[in-house]
Amino acid sequence: MGEGRVSEGRVLGGIRVYGLIVSMWMRSTMAYRASFAMTAFGNFAANAFDFVAILLMFSHIDALGGYSLPEIAFLYGTSSISFGLADLALGSMDRLGRRIRDGTLDTLLVRPAPVLAQVAADRFALRRLGRVTQGALVLGYAVVALDIAWTPLKVLLMPVMLLSGGVIFSAVFVAGAAFQFWAQDASEVQNSFTYGGATLLEYPPTVFAKDLVRGVTFVVPLAFVNWLPALYVLGRPYPLDVPRWLAFAAPLVAVVCMGLAGIVWRAGLRSYRSTGS
Amino acid sequence: MLRLYALVAAGGFRRHATYRVATVAGVFTNTVFGFIVAYTYIALWDQRPHLGGYDQAQALTYVWLGQGMMATVAMMGGGFEEELIERVRSGDIATDLYRPADLQLWWLAGDLGRAAFHLLVRGTLPMLLGALAFDLALPDNPFVWIAFVVAVVLGVVVSFAVRYLVALSSFWLLDGAGVTQIAALVTMFFSGMLLPLNVFPGALGELAKVLPWSALLQIPADVLLGKHTGWGLVGAYAFQLGWAAVLLTAGRLLQSAATTKVVVQGG
């Protein structure tokens, strides 16, 4: 992915493999329909409880960090959808550590298909649509409840924000999985950047210490998932002194993140030595 | 017989102690979430000082306590239940039933060992890091700490009893993933992990306080914050013990029903 010019055929081949494995897992999930319905609902509810906690907070207050409930719902919805899309596409990647430990990764290495596509599609879980659905409902509420001064630019920015956000989170998933080539048992570290990042972005940046906001703007650029574009749509200033056009830099940041994640993935895969058993 | 269960508990402790990298990773994650939640609580308590009867330092202590106790009381699962469900699915459970040990006590002992390890490592480290970054309201009275540890142990037993019921349900459902997930969500919400239960408004707050999950985090936290003393403390323990007794008994009944089912299916 990151190394020089990747032939188009390889990328398309990877996508085809991904699609094949995904459809296989979808069929196998449907064998246990009751369990699928419950886990899909669980996925929906998992996030819903986070929002219920915010609603409970707002039963005592009118603003959190200077933001009203619909404004926070806007941040919450955009964060959840972007994270949900990445989780749907690549959420199984935290199983890589287990595959490295028990040696089953070797089976994937000998198959004539890109390893990343195989790992990403492994145990694909359609139930993860639950989170996207829940995020979309909350975002819908926010858009209706808020009095946003829509401009063509703001309307255009909405899908760009959600998709770029999904790609940025996907890059974190890939980089986190690559990290497991070195630290085989540390999938939880990945969780703190993915689930932790998604939780952070549900709240306005004014809530957090400046250094933390700087960290997620310039070091791990999660702020481009929703904070910067969303605050532009909401007509709110960003707490750091950054140019306003940065709100539109999200796709660029997403592409750079994906490229870097690809490089890390290749380096990790190259350093992989089988368990030898 | 007691010696056997002590050995099983020690085994549970040692087994979790071998997952070193995973433990460090868990401490890291708990700390990251501790920071995120702590800042949201600061924003909330800035608006409403003394919300739920806590001052800001107490609210922050509650946050870090929650992160520290999450693994101990297995709030998101990850205890013995995945293994038990797997044994039910594969049929290995049949051999377990022939062991000369009580099935429920066997798993409880192992789970207590697991909890002890998590309390020592994942309980203390995030708390220390949190105390470095924020002003916490930790008691200096050693008796309060002892009372707290007792409440934690009782909380683990209640948590075990609930998870045992969840795991046994796989005898009927075959695939335990859905129930496990929903149980984890309910636990997170009604234990006070997402927000202290005394911040829940009105009837929801009253309901949350009498449900068994409040024994997992809310009660131990309030014991540490000095909200339960004297007879109040006795009452809090009685509440935890009561739920433990009810749920463990339910587990026994479900277990014997499940055992009959194994015979019916022929293994």
Residue B51: list chain A partners with CB under 8 A: 60
Residue B94 banded pLDDT, cuts 50, 70, 90: confident
Can you give the pLDDT at residue A4? 44
**Is B137 a residue whose pLDDT tops 60?**
yes
pLDDT at A185: 77
Q: How far apart are CA A259 and CA B104, in angstroms?
A: 51
Q: Residue A1: is its pLDDT beyond 60? A: no
pLDDT band at B22; cut points 50, 70, 90: confident
Q: Residue B206: exposed, middle, or buried by beta-carbon count in 10 A (0-12, 13-18, 19+)? A: exposed
Mean pLDDT of all residues in B221-225: 97
**Could you tell me what percentage of chain B is helix, strand and coil, using 3-state DSSP and rounding each to the nearest 5?**
80, 0, 20
pLDDT at residue A37, as a whole number: 81
Average pLDDT over every residue of A25-45 = 81
Euclidean distance between CA atoms B215 and B220, whole angstroms = 7
C-alpha dihedral (A168, A174, A176, A181), degrees to nearest 10: -160
Given this model, what pLDDT does residue B101 score? Answer: 79
- Percent of chain A having pLDDT more than 70? 96
Q: How far is A257 from chain B (nearest CA, A)?
A: 21
Q: Which two tokens stand for residue A16?
A: 């085809």
pLDDT of A39 > 50? The answer is yes
For the segment B181-205, what is each residue's pLDDT rounded down to a tens digit?
888 989 999 999 999 999 999 999 9
Q: How far is CA A183 from the centre of its chain?
A: 21
The secondary structure of residue A208, as a DSSP letter, is: S
Find the range with the poorest average confidence among A145-149, A271-275, B119-123, B153-157.
A271-275
Mutation target for B interface from A202, A208, A213: give the one with most B CBs within 10 A.
A208
Cβ neighbour number for residue B131 with a 10 Å cutoff: 14
What pLDDT is recorded for position B127? 94
Q: Say how far apart CA B54 and CA A200 lie, in whole Å.
A: 24
Predicted pLDDT at A110: 81
Let me know if A202 is exposed, middle or buried by CB neighbors in 10 A (0-12, 13-18, 19+).
Answer: buried
Query: What is the model's pLDDT at position A142?
Result: 97
Token match 């699962």: residue?
B77
Confidence of residue A3 (pLDDT cuts 50, 70, 90): very low
The 10s digit of each residue's pLDDT in B54-88 is 999 999 999 999 999 999 999 888 778 888 888 88
What are φ and ψ of residue A124, in 5° steps? -55, 130
A159-163, B93-97, B126-130, B156-160: least confident range:
B93-97
Torsion region of B74: left, alpha or beta (phi above 0 gives left; psi -120 to 50 gives alpha)? left
Confidence class for position B263, pLDDT limits 50, 70, 90: low
- Note the pLDDT of residue B54: 96
pLDDT at B134 > cutoff 50: yes
Residues of chain B neighbouring A199 (CB-CB closer than 8 A): 33, 36
Confidence (pLDDT) at A55: 96
List residues of chain B with CB under 8 Å from any CB of chain A. 19-22, 24-26, 28-29, 32-33, 35-36, 39-40, 42-44, 47-48, 51, 173-175, 177-179, 181-182, 185, 188-189, 194-195, 199-201, 204
pLDDT band of residue B117 (cuts 50, 70, 90) is: very high
Q: Which one of A38, A59, A186 has the shortest CB-CB distance to B201?
A: A59
Mention every residue, 6+ apart, whose C-beta is less than 8 A from residue A76.
A50, A51, A54, A135, A138, A139, A142, A202
What's the CA dihedral at A158, A160, A162, A165 to 10 degrees? -140
CA angle A5, A6, A8 (to 5 degrees): 120
Q: pLDDT tens digit string along A194-204?
A: 999 999 999 99
Distance (Å) from the alpha carbon of B180 to chain A's nearest alpha carbon: 9
pLDDT for position B266: 54
What ipTM does the predicted assembly reach?
0.89
Let me know if A85 is exposed, middle or buried by CB neighbors in 10 A (0-12, 13-18, 19+): buried
Tell me what pLDDT residue A211 has.
Answer: 94
Looking at the partner chain, which of B21, B181, B189 has a beta carbon nearest the beta carbon of A183?
B21
Summarize pLDDT for B118-129 with one digit per residue, the tens: 999 999 999 999
CB A45 within 8 A of CB A147: no
Residue A111 burial (CB count, 10 A): 10
Q: What is the pTM (predicted TM-score) of this model?
A: 0.91
Interface contact flag, A60 B201, Cβ < 8 Å? yes
Report whether pLDDT(A272) > 90: no
pLDDT, position A126: 80
- Name the residue among B19, B28, B44 with its Cβ closest to that of A192: B28
Closest residue of chain B to A59, computed from CA coordinates? B201
Q: Count of CB contacts below 8 A, A vs B?
A: 112
Q: What is the mean pLDDT of residues A223-240?
A: 95
Lowest mean pLDDT among A95-109, A168-182, B221-235: A95-109
Pick A207's closest partner by Cβ from B40, B199, B201. Answer: B40
Mutating which of B16, B40, B134 best tests the A interface, going by the most A Cβ atoms within 10 A? B40
Task: Tell me what pLDDT residue A2 has.
Answer: 44
User: At CB < 8 Å, which residues of chain A contact B?
Assistant: 32, 34-39, 41-43, 45-46, 49-50, 52-53, 56-57, 59-65, 183-189, 191-192, 196, 199-200, 203, 206-209, 212
Which among A50, A64, A186 has the least Cβ separation from residue B25? Answer: A186
Q: Which pLDDT does position B174 carry in this prediction? A: 66
Looking at the complex, report in whole angstroms how far the Cα of residue A176 sits from the nearest Cα belonging to chain B: 12
Average pLDDT score, chain A: 88
Q: Which residue of B has its CA nearest to A184?
A: B21
Q: What is the predicted pLDDT for the residue at A112?
A: 79
